[in-house]
Structure 1
């Protein structure tokens, strides 16, 4: 079995990829293997491939962050819009679904679900992208509290906060994937 033939879910459970293996990948395999790290935004992995070899997982991660940070605002907003709403029953990637399940967002009561849905709608209406939070180490109460606070942020402040959360998510995903 090659890395290229694995599904996103299978890749996330490998955990034994090395930076050496990543540096040996051709562009197609590299993008297929790492393109999902930044939710539905393979352009980040495409840009990173151009900057190899990587000295370490952190070097790869910092390269990917730099690509996003230097991207046009329209690409950054597209990246933010590619993320699913938290605590909803919408279709999302396997990885996002696993991340939300680990913190109990798949087991919300009817009232909790309605509160998350209302806050998500208010948030998306205001900012034009879904509420994004790295949920690892969080629970539904801390997530809900952050939603209530951040929905009142300015657009500029929330874009910075949301991108920082995207970076945390990508970091967690790379740490889970690469030795």
Structure 2
């Protein structure tokens, strides 16, 4: 992994347009969890006029997938555990910390793991939620509610959450020119 990823540097859209394929693979291969294919798609679609153009390509890609491909995409995501896991990507660990899942009690962790297990058994893929937009209580509430949905509804809900997660990951890496010009 290159130093520019480790130090959490933000890039301008112009810098992104100038990246090599290798840099795209290093920087963007985990925008969608464990999906280097998306980094390649981005590289093929450059140059970009804006950060929003990159996000639009993300949405188009996710919406173009067949249900089985969406399901496979969801299986790449980790269970929410509230523990620092060496098997999690750096982004997933940070996102779970942002939801303060690393501070929950053992009892709360057991509840979360039990609901995750029920969800995975019912749908065949992990519960996906944008942890950065939630906390333990809202995650538990959403998880309990979504256990009542159908397989197709959950594939769509999960992909909607992947869009949120991936959009935030893009905004972590690429300067949002709308925010930059409004300062």
TM-score, length basis structure 2: 0.88
Q: What is aligned with 2:2?
A: 5
Residues 83-162 of structure 1: pairs in structure 2 closer than 5 A: 83-89=77-83, 90=85, 91-162=87-158
Q: Higher helix share goes to which structure?
A: 2
Q: What is aligned with 1:54?
A: 48
* Aligned CA-pair RMSD: 1.6
Q: What is aligned with 2:181?
A: none
Q: What is aligned with 1:41?
A: 35
Structure 1 residue 48: deviation in Å? 2.0
State the alpha-carbon separation in 1 of the partners of residues 167 and 38 from structure 2.
13
Give per-residue Cα distances to partners, 1:5-64, cap 9 Å, x unaligned. 2375x26x212x011111111222112211111011111121121111111111011112
2:63 pairs with 66, 69, 75, which one?
A: 69
SS of the residue aligned with 1:136? helix
Gaps of 5+ in 1: none
Q: What is aligned with 1:168?
A: 164
Structure 1 residue 78: deviation in Å? 2.1
Report if aligned partners of 1:45, 1:64 keep a CA contact under 8 Å in 2.
no
Deviates more, 1:146-155 or 1:134-143: 134-143
1:78 partnered with 2:80: no
State the alpha-carbon separation in 2 of the partners of residues 69 and 48 from structure 1.
15
State the alpha-carbon separation in 2 of the partners of residues 26 and 51 from structure 1.
13
SS of the residue aligned with 2:133? coil
Superposed structure 1 runs of 4+ greater than 4 Å apart: none
Count of residue pairs brought into register by the alignment: 173
Give per-residue Cα distances to partners, 1:107-161, cap 9 Å, x unaligned. 2212111111110001001111111111223110001100000011100001101
TM-score, length basis structure 1: 0.90
